[in-house]
Amino acid sequence: MNTFTEPTAVAQGNPALPLAGKKGLITGIANDKSIAFAVAKAVRALGADVALTYQNDKTAKYTQPLAESIGARLFEKLDVTQPGSLEAVIEKCGTEFGRLDFAIHSMAFCEADDLHGRVIDTSESGFDAAMNISCHSFLRMAKAIEPLMTEGGSLITMSYLGAERVVRNYGVMGIIKAALESAVRYMAYDLGPKGIRVFAVSPGPIMTRAASGIANFNKLLESDAVKAPLGHTVTIEEVGALTAFLCTAGSSGMTGQTIYVDAGAHIVA
Protein backbone atom coordinates (compact mmCIF):
# COMPACT_ATOMS: atom_id res chain seq x y z
CA MET A 1 0.00 0.00 0.00
CA ASN A 2 1.18 3.49 -0.83
CA THR A 3 -0.20 6.11 1.54
CA PHE A 4 0.31 9.85 1.43
CA THR A 5 -0.44 11.53 4.73
CA GLU A 6 -0.07 15.17 3.85
CA PRO A 7 -2.90 17.15 5.48
CA THR A 8 -5.72 18.36 3.31
CA ALA A 9 -4.73 22.00 3.65
CA VAL A 10 -7.46 23.38 1.43
CA ALA A 11 -10.19 21.70 3.44
CA GLN A 12 -8.69 22.59 6.81
CA GLY A 13 -8.17 26.19 5.78
CA ASN A 14 -11.66 26.69 4.41
CA PRO A 15 -14.34 24.35 5.77
CA ALA A 16 -16.91 26.09 3.55
CA LEU A 17 -15.44 24.45 0.44
CA PRO A 18 -18.13 22.33 -1.30
CA LEU A 19 -16.24 19.06 -0.89
CA ALA A 20 -14.58 19.71 2.46
CA GLY A 21 -14.48 16.44 4.38
CA LYS A 22 -15.61 14.36 1.40
CA LYS A 23 -13.71 11.24 0.31
CA GLY A 24 -13.41 9.87 -3.19
CA LEU A 25 -11.81 7.26 -5.42
CA ILE A 26 -10.51 8.28 -8.86
CA THR A 27 -9.38 5.70 -11.41
CA GLY A 28 -7.84 5.95 -14.84
CA ILE A 29 -4.98 8.44 -14.47
CA ALA A 30 -2.31 7.66 -17.07
CA ASN A 31 -0.44 10.99 -17.14
CA ASP A 32 -0.92 14.71 -16.50
CA LYS A 33 -3.06 15.02 -19.65
CA SER A 34 -5.63 12.51 -18.40
CA ILE A 35 -9.17 13.67 -17.79
CA ALA A 36 -9.08 11.73 -14.52
CA PHE A 37 -6.15 13.83 -13.30
CA ALA A 38 -8.02 17.03 -14.12
CA VAL A 39 -10.91 15.67 -12.06
CA ALA A 40 -8.56 14.83 -9.20
CA LYS A 41 -7.17 18.36 -9.15
CA ALA A 42 -10.64 19.87 -9.32
CA VAL A 43 -12.07 17.89 -6.40
CA ARG A 44 -8.95 18.52 -4.33
CA ALA A 45 -9.34 22.25 -4.95
CA LEU A 46 -12.86 21.95 -3.53
CA GLY A 47 -11.57 20.28 -0.38
CA ALA A 48 -11.93 16.52 -1.00
CA ASP A 49 -9.53 13.78 0.02
CA VAL A 50 -8.80 11.28 -2.73
CA ALA A 51 -7.47 7.83 -3.48
CA LEU A 52 -5.91 7.38 -6.92
CA THR A 53 -5.09 4.21 -8.83
CA TYR A 54 -2.49 3.11 -11.35
CA GLN A 55 -2.75 0.20 -13.78
CA ASN A 56 0.68 -1.42 -13.56
CA ASP A 57 4.28 -0.86 -12.50
CA LYS A 58 5.12 0.71 -15.86
CA THR A 59 2.54 3.46 -15.47
CA ALA A 60 3.28 3.98 -11.76
CA LYS A 61 6.44 5.96 -12.47
CA TYR A 62 4.35 8.53 -14.35
CA THR A 63 1.37 8.62 -12.03
CA GLN A 64 2.93 8.44 -8.55
CA PRO A 65 4.44 11.97 -8.85
CA LEU A 66 0.97 13.21 -9.84
CA ALA A 67 -0.59 11.56 -6.81
CA GLU A 68 2.05 13.11 -4.58
CA SER A 69 1.60 16.53 -6.17
CA ILE A 70 -2.02 16.74 -5.04
CA GLY A 71 -1.56 14.96 -1.71
CA ALA A 72 -3.56 11.83 -2.49
CA ARG A 73 -4.26 9.78 0.62
CA LEU A 74 -3.93 6.46 -1.23
CA PHE A 75 -2.17 5.39 -4.42
CA GLU A 76 -3.06 1.81 -5.31
CA LYS A 77 -2.59 -0.61 -8.19
CA LEU A 78 -5.82 -1.42 -10.03
CA ASP A 79 -6.13 -3.80 -12.97
CA VAL A 80 -9.79 -4.66 -13.52
CA THR A 81 -8.82 -7.70 -15.59
CA GLN A 82 -7.34 -9.28 -12.46
CA PRO A 83 -9.95 -10.96 -10.24
CA GLY A 84 -10.41 -9.14 -6.95
CA SER A 85 -8.19 -6.18 -7.81
CA LEU A 86 -11.03 -3.63 -7.95
CA GLU A 87 -12.67 -4.95 -4.80
CA ALA A 88 -9.35 -4.93 -2.91
CA VAL A 89 -8.73 -1.28 -3.76
CA ILE A 90 -12.20 -0.29 -2.59
CA GLU A 91 -11.71 -2.25 0.63
CA LYS A 92 -8.53 -0.25 1.28
CA CYS A 93 -10.46 2.95 0.68
CA GLY A 94 -12.94 1.83 3.31
CA THR A 95 -10.13 1.16 5.78
CA GLU A 96 -8.47 4.51 5.12
CA PHE A 97 -11.52 6.75 4.82
CA GLY A 98 -14.32 4.92 6.59
CA ARG A 99 -16.71 5.82 3.78
CA LEU A 100 -16.71 7.09 0.20
CA ASP A 101 -18.69 10.05 -1.10
CA PHE A 102 -17.82 9.83 -4.79
CA ALA A 103 -16.01 7.63 -7.29
CA ILE A 104 -14.79 8.36 -10.80
CA HIS A 105 -14.69 5.51 -13.33
CA SER A 106 -12.39 6.58 -16.15
CA MET A 107 -11.38 3.27 -17.71
CA ALA A 108 -11.83 2.03 -21.26
CA PHE A 109 -10.18 -0.47 -23.58
CA CYS A 110 -10.67 -1.69 -27.11
CA GLU A 111 -8.39 -3.57 -29.50
CA ALA A 112 -7.17 -1.33 -32.33
CA ASP A 113 -8.65 -3.54 -35.04
CA ASP A 114 -12.05 -3.43 -33.35
CA LEU A 115 -11.83 0.33 -32.88
CA HIS A 116 -11.09 1.09 -36.52
CA GLY A 117 -12.81 -1.78 -38.30
CA ARG A 118 -16.42 -2.65 -39.08
CA VAL A 119 -18.40 -3.51 -35.98
CA ILE A 120 -19.65 -6.73 -37.56
CA ASP A 121 -16.04 -7.89 -37.83
CA THR A 122 -15.42 -7.52 -34.09
CA SER A 123 -14.14 -10.74 -32.55
CA GLU A 124 -16.01 -12.29 -29.64
CA SER A 125 -12.93 -12.02 -27.44
CA GLY A 126 -12.39 -8.40 -28.44
CA PHE A 127 -16.00 -7.49 -27.70
CA ASP A 128 -15.91 -9.28 -24.37
CA ALA A 129 -12.70 -7.51 -23.31
CA ALA A 130 -13.99 -4.08 -24.32
CA MET A 131 -17.31 -4.61 -22.53
CA ASN A 132 -15.73 -6.03 -19.40
CA ILE A 133 -13.12 -3.29 -18.93
CA SER A 134 -15.12 -0.33 -20.21
CA CYS A 135 -18.62 -1.07 -18.92
CA HIS A 136 -19.00 -4.02 -16.57
CA SER A 137 -16.19 -2.70 -14.36
CA PHE A 138 -18.43 0.30 -13.56
CA LEU A 139 -21.14 -2.06 -12.33
CA ARG A 140 -18.59 -3.93 -10.24
CA MET A 141 -17.28 -0.66 -8.84
CA ALA A 142 -20.78 0.39 -7.80
CA LYS A 143 -21.50 -2.95 -6.11
CA ALA A 144 -18.28 -2.82 -4.08
CA ILE A 145 -18.68 0.85 -3.15
CA GLU A 146 -22.38 0.75 -2.24
CA PRO A 147 -21.75 -0.32 1.39
CA LEU A 148 -19.28 2.56 1.82
CA MET A 149 -21.67 5.25 0.56
CA THR A 150 -23.49 5.41 3.85
CA GLU A 151 -24.41 9.05 3.32
CA GLY A 152 -25.21 8.78 -0.37
CA GLY A 153 -22.78 9.93 -3.03
CA SER A 154 -21.93 10.22 -6.71
CA LEU A 155 -20.73 7.56 -9.14
CA ILE A 156 -19.43 9.04 -12.39
CA THR A 157 -18.15 7.42 -15.56
CA MET A 158 -16.78 8.85 -18.83
CA SER A 159 -18.56 8.43 -22.15
CA TYR A 160 -18.42 9.99 -25.62
CA LEU A 161 -20.80 11.13 -28.38
CA GLY A 162 -20.02 7.90 -30.25
CA ALA A 163 -22.51 6.26 -27.89
CA GLU A 164 -25.32 8.21 -29.59
CA ARG A 165 -24.08 8.81 -33.12
CA VAL A 166 -21.76 7.04 -35.52
CA VAL A 167 -18.26 8.50 -35.19
CA ARG A 168 -15.78 7.31 -37.78
CA ASN A 169 -12.94 5.17 -36.46
CA TYR A 170 -14.72 4.69 -33.11
CA GLY A 171 -16.09 1.30 -34.10
CA VAL A 172 -17.31 -1.10 -31.47
CA MET A 173 -16.42 1.33 -28.69
CA GLY A 174 -19.51 3.30 -29.67
CA ILE A 175 -21.61 0.24 -28.87
CA ILE A 176 -19.80 -0.24 -25.57
CA LYS A 177 -20.31 3.40 -24.57
CA ALA A 178 -24.01 3.14 -25.45
CA ALA A 179 -24.23 0.19 -23.05
CA LEU A 180 -22.36 2.21 -20.44
CA GLU A 181 -24.83 5.11 -20.70
CA SER A 182 -27.73 2.68 -20.39
CA ALA A 183 -26.05 1.18 -17.32
CA VAL A 184 -25.94 4.66 -15.79
CA ARG A 185 -29.71 4.97 -16.05
CA TYR A 186 -30.41 1.54 -14.55
CA MET A 187 -27.84 2.07 -11.79
CA ALA A 188 -29.42 5.42 -10.96
CA TYR A 189 -32.78 3.69 -10.60
CA ASP A 190 -31.40 0.92 -8.39
CA LEU A 191 -29.24 3.13 -6.16
CA GLY A 192 -31.40 6.23 -5.94
CA PRO A 193 -33.24 5.10 -2.79
CA LYS A 194 -29.87 5.11 -0.99
CA GLY A 195 -29.07 8.63 -2.14
CA ILE A 196 -26.43 7.40 -4.58
CA ARG A 197 -26.50 9.37 -7.81
CA VAL A 198 -25.04 8.10 -11.08
CA PHE A 199 -23.81 10.07 -14.09
CA ALA A 200 -22.00 9.74 -17.39
CA VAL A 201 -19.90 12.71 -18.45
CA SER A 202 -19.48 12.97 -22.21
CA PRO A 203 -16.57 15.26 -23.14
CA GLY A 204 -15.89 16.53 -26.61
CA PRO A 205 -12.71 15.24 -28.27
CA ILE A 206 -9.61 15.89 -26.17
CA MET A 207 -6.10 14.73 -26.99
CA THR A 208 -5.50 12.20 -24.23
CA ARG A 209 -3.45 9.00 -24.38
CA ALA A 210 -6.62 7.00 -25.01
CA ALA A 211 -7.72 9.32 -27.81
CA SER A 212 -4.36 8.98 -29.56
CA GLY A 213 -5.44 5.48 -30.60
CA ILE A 214 -8.29 6.84 -32.73
CA ALA A 215 -7.33 7.29 -36.39
CA ASN A 216 -7.45 10.86 -37.79
CA PHE A 217 -8.18 12.24 -34.33
CA ASN A 218 -6.65 15.63 -35.16
CA LYS A 219 -9.25 16.07 -37.93
CA LEU A 220 -11.96 15.24 -35.40
CA LEU A 221 -10.63 17.96 -33.11
CA GLU A 222 -10.61 20.51 -35.91
CA SER A 223 -14.13 19.74 -37.11
CA ASP A 224 -15.47 19.77 -33.57
CA ALA A 225 -14.04 23.23 -32.93
CA VAL A 226 -15.62 24.55 -36.12
CA LYS A 227 -19.13 23.29 -35.43
CA ALA A 228 -19.24 23.88 -31.66
CA PRO A 229 -21.47 26.86 -30.76
CA LEU A 230 -18.82 28.11 -28.34
CA GLY A 231 -16.23 27.95 -31.11
CA HIS A 232 -13.62 25.81 -29.39
CA THR A 233 -12.87 22.31 -28.19
CA VAL A 234 -13.08 21.72 -24.47
CA THR A 235 -10.14 21.33 -22.12
CA ILE A 236 -9.55 18.68 -19.51
CA GLU A 237 -9.88 21.43 -16.90
CA GLU A 238 -13.44 22.17 -18.07
CA VAL A 239 -14.31 18.49 -17.85
CA GLY A 240 -12.69 18.28 -14.44
CA ALA A 241 -14.68 21.25 -13.13
CA LEU A 242 -18.01 19.82 -14.33
CA THR A 243 -17.26 16.40 -12.88
CA ALA A 244 -16.29 17.94 -9.55
CA PHE A 245 -19.63 19.78 -9.51
CA LEU A 246 -21.45 16.45 -9.86
CA CYS A 247 -19.78 15.38 -6.61
CA THR A 248 -21.15 18.38 -4.69
CA ALA A 249 -24.50 19.05 -3.05
CA GLY A 250 -25.24 21.46 -5.88
CA SER A 251 -26.16 18.49 -8.06
CA SER A 252 -28.22 16.73 -5.39
CA GLY A 253 -31.38 16.85 -7.51
CA MET A 254 -29.77 15.14 -10.49
CA THR A 255 -29.13 11.50 -11.42
CA GLY A 256 -29.18 9.07 -14.34
CA GLN A 257 -27.99 11.60 -16.90
CA THR A 258 -25.36 11.80 -19.61
CA ILE A 259 -23.96 15.31 -19.40
CA TYR A 260 -22.15 16.74 -22.40
CA VAL A 261 -19.07 18.92 -21.94
CA ASP A 262 -18.24 19.70 -25.55
CA ALA A 263 -18.81 23.42 -26.09
CA GLY A 264 -22.25 22.51 -27.45
CA ALA A 265 -20.98 20.45 -30.39
CA HIS A 266 -23.42 17.60 -29.71
CA ILE A 267 -26.41 19.76 -30.67
CA VAL A 268 -25.08 20.43 -34.17
CA ALA A 269 -25.60 17.83 -36.90
Nearest-10 crossing angle of helices 171-191, 137-145: 20
Among the listed residues 170, 186, 189, 260, the single catalytic one is 170
- CB within 8 Å of 57: residues ≥ 6 apart: 77
- CB within 8 Å of 98: residues ≥ 6 apart: 23
Look up 160 and say whether it is catalytic.
yes
The closest alpha carbon to 137, from 169, 170, 111, 176, belongs to 176
For residue 247, CA distances in Å to 14, 48, 171 come to: 18, 10, 31
Query: Is residue 152 classed exposed, middle or buried when 0-12, 13-18 and 19+ CB atoms within 10 A define those classes?
Result: middle
Among the listed residues 54, 62, 160, 186, the single catalytic one is 160
Strand 74-77 and strand 102-105: the pairing is unpaired
Look up 186 and say whether it is catalytic.
no
Q: Just list the catalytic residues.
A: 160, 170
